A and B are shown apart, each in its own frame.
Chain A
């Protein structure tokens, strides 16, 4: 049984189709990363799977329970940390988690036990008994994560868990996500607009664009699909890109050529050997080159290939090299 499964999951807001027939299957114990820019449909998909939003059509199942037919059963099995750390600044960390435990029907002794466990996770020392409004951004995010875990959910939904965090706190959250998955086997579906985050954390990545799941696979599979090496040619003039691309396609050892704006991307199995030949070939037809680089493919290249746009240009997130 899949931990999370969707069939033609669709959500309309009036005329706008926010999520368009997504089919998804996440296995127990897996970390699945939903990668896409703002407005791609990631959060709407999560909100449907955590029962906050009803699908317009299609359905989703979490641990075998339908989000449409049996949302109550789904709620008992999931932990949710939405994009915005959803806390109550007037309560102390301990009060906040205790209240969360009571809402999941835990007894006082169960709550005491969980608080002892989560105190370690939150890692805020004596501030556990201070009001949440005094916490730093990183502490609030960890408290948010702890609240999602009070009742020991089988599946954890994390909507952009590190957005707004500094690199140190971002890495701390990554470590915790890995630990929750590795030590406790919690299935995790996380959305992110950060390429590095998807690359580092997710066993499998699904790229979502304009409400559609356009491609999915392990990060290495997806990157391998692009080619072993990529040579990126930045031309001086955008109008010459198509001409350059068609000329470069004729060279031996070139697997695929794509052009976007004044950038021409050449996929090849032998990048270092091809670079000088590429430069000469472009010089032969009189095209001026501003920059020529070689690198291994990133998820951003996968995103570009799948959607025709680059992701990192839109969100400023780090791209994995």
Chain B
């Protein structure tokens, strides 16, 4: 360093700038680790193709006219549920980088919300890819361009709402193995729903489970945006997402508080 170095004045950057800085880093890293998104890119078209191939002809028996349109929201859930930088956060914790961040004046909430903001961008992009796949195989959107934007937003908001769970586990345990156990939550949430048949076709405990499963309402909202229009189901989907998001963000923020507490 030269002796003529001019002084700089460190100061708190503020919540928004901190959040954008953290989000920018996460997006840059995500673009450099495409393998992390590999499952999200491969699983949805695979299940979509398998489900459509196996069940399309029998779908009419349970009252489904367009099984491809019926399955497209399921593919969105497969694509976006559980997508997060939680494993990268664990790496930051174990490598000591998280401590470096904590020793800086960064806003503590921005450390988490910045990661979630980058996740939102990623899940919107994944939802768009799934939607594009649907359009290619002949699914039509009854609500047009605005509905397509609503579909993207709803898919993205669901993905965002779910991210709190893996972050809560990451911050609480600092263990990548524990983060990967998130599929134990993912499986019942995605499968104990109307993923493969409408509510009326479900029986017994499965029907009851679907009633209590918020994902049922998210699927219904997404399906209406494709086939029917702006119905009350869309509002119910937003409410279900809000409920899940409230719980998951609450857990994640509590875990963050525990992690940054100096005690």
Contact = CB atoms under 8 A, between A and B. Distances in A.
B103 A75 contact: yes
A13 to B, nearest CB: 11
A104 B96 contact: no
B58 to A, nearest CB: 47
Nearest to B94: A84
Nearest to B260: A52
A117 B6 CA distance: 10
A112 to B, nearest CB: 11
B200 interface: no
A51 B103 contact: yes
Contacts of B102: 51-52
Contacts of B203: none
A91 to B, nearest CB: 7
B13 A102 contact: yes
Given A86-B95, A117-B1, A117-B2, A104 B10 contact: yes
Contacts of B96: 82-86
Contacts of B262: 51-54, 71
Interface in B1-41: 1-3, 5-14, 17-18, 21, 24-25, 28-29, 32-33
Interface in A15-39: none
Given A82-B96, A183-B3, A72 B8 contact: no
Interface in B53-108: 92, 95-97, 99-106
A118 B1 contact: yes
A99 interface: yes
Interface residues of B, number: 36
A71 to B, nearest CB: 8
A16 B96 CA distance: 23
A83 B99 CA distance: 11
A78 B28 CA distance: 28
A289 interface: no
A95 B28 contact: yes
Nearest to A82: B96
Contact of B11 (A52, A54, A105, A184): A105
B10 A152 contact: yes
Contact of A102 (B17, B29, B92): B17
Nearest to A154: B10
A91 B103 contact: no
A80 interface: yes
Nearest to A98: B21
A104 B92 CA distance: 19
Contacts of A52: 99, 102-103, 262
Interface string B101-123: 11111100000000000000000
Nearest to B14: A105
Interface of A: 50-54, 71-72, 75-78, 80, 82-88, 90-91, 95, 99-100, 102-106, 110, 113-114, 117-118, 120-121, 131, 147, 151-153, 183-184
25 contacts: A51-B103, A52-B99, A52-B262, A76-B10, A76-B12, A78-B103, A80-B103, A82-B100, A85-B96, A86-B97, A87-B95, A88-B29, A88-B97, A90-B33, A99-B24, A99-B25, A102-B17, A104-B104, A106-B9, A113-B5, A117-B2, A151-B8, A152-B7, A183-B1, A184-B1
A-B pairs, 8 with minimum CB distance: A86-B96, A151-B10, A54-B262, A105-B11, A104-B10, A105-B13, A86-B100, A84-B96
